[in-house]
Amino acid sequence: MRFGPAVLLVVIAVIGATGFYSVAPESLELFADHVVAATLDRPALMLESLVVEQDIAALPNAASRAVHEAQLVFLLGFAERGFVSEGSGSEVAADRLFVAAAELAREANRLEESSTGHRILADCLNQLLDLRGIGYKMFNMGDAKSAADRAVELDPENPLARTAAAAFYSSAPRAFGGDPEKAIQHLEQATIHRSGRLHVDFLVHLWSAKVNMRVERIDEATASFRAAFAIFPENWALARMAEEAGVSLSNPQ
């Protein structure tokens, strides 16, 4: 399943350990940095995504292509949510992109199971849990938890598997598997195994802020919010979380 230029324009109009997979193209890693930084407008996003898609198409096996295509489509959905926050995007389009990315991740895992495939699936499901209503949440939290747990099980040193798990455990109600203490443990491991990519460092700080706020460690949460802000100050999820927490990022002093 590939998304050519026309499909991407119609649908639109937040890479770890790989095992047997080809290493993610550098263009995909840079695209992740740019999307999480929210530095691309829509035309630039489309142009860069097409370059990434060409690089993915050149990968040597179907599972590699599927897993990295899933990451690309997930990032397009994440970017679309950023456009929504600016008043120009579509939550419906974002939802469809996350659904498509999840199916690509499942296909990659059917071809050959990997931490990366399950991590992307967990990221997609976490986004859909945030976008959709209580009925969806009740029936899909278990799948999101399972995908995150499996991603970590397959590669405990995958920092993005750890942040996907932290995202679930810091957000879900305890009755549905949420566990702030587990989220903190995953973030401690993500910190140890950070890859040096800016978007990975940003996500560690972002979810550290979320979970510390949940357990009422306000000073620690504020420090994490500001550390994330120092990396990507324009990120839409950071702005939303900080606003909900009552933390000012415009005047960090």
pLDDT, tens digit, for every residue of 83-142? Answer: 999 999 999 999 999 999 999 999 999 999 999 999 999 999 999 999 999 999 999 999
Query: Can you tell me the mean pLDDT for 43-49?
Result: 97
In a domain, 229, yes or no: no
Picking from 211, 217, 214, 205, the residue whose alpha carbon sits closest to that of residue 249 is: 205
In a domain, 194, yes or no: no
In a domain, 22, yes or no: yes
Whether 225 has a pLDDT exceeding 70, the answer reads yes
Model pLDDT, residue 60: 87
Alpha helices by DSSP H, listed for the chain, are: 5-12, 26-37, 42-57, 62-86, 91-111, 115-131, 134-154, 159-171, 180-192, 198-214, 218-231, 236-245
CA–CA dist 35, 135 (Å, integer): 30
Domain count, the chain: 1
In a domain, 100, yes or no: yes
| pTM score, whole prediction | 0.90
CA–CA dist 14, 124 (Å, integer): 9
Please, what is the average pLDDT of the chain?
91
183, 149 in Cβ contact below 8 A?
no
In a domain, 48, yes or no: yes
In a domain, 235, yes or no: no
Type of residue numbered 6: A
pLDDT, tens digit, for every residue of 165-174? Answer: 999 999 999 9
Query: Can you tell me the mean pLDDT for 187-211?
Result: 95
- Per the structure, the complete domain to which residue 75 belongs is given by 5-179
Model pLDDT, residue 22: 62
Query: Can you tell me the mean pLDDT for 140-161?
Result: 97
In a domain, 218, yes or no: no
* Model confidence band, residue 196 (pLDDT cutoffs 50, 70, 90): confident
Whether 69 has a pLDDT exceeding 90, the answer reads yes
First to last CA, the chain: 48
pLDDT, tens digit, for every residue of 73-84? Answer: 999 999 999 999
In a domain, 190, yes or no: no
* Model confidence band, residue 12 (pLDDT cutoffs 50, 70, 90): very low
Specify the CATH number for the domain of residue 48.
Answer: 1.25.40
Q: What's the Cα-to-Cα distance from 45 to each of 7, 70, 114, 123, rounded to whole Å?
A: 14, 16, 28, 20
CA–CA dist 31, 57 (Å, integer): 16
Model pLDDT, residue 6: 37
% of the chain surpassing 70 pLDDT: 90
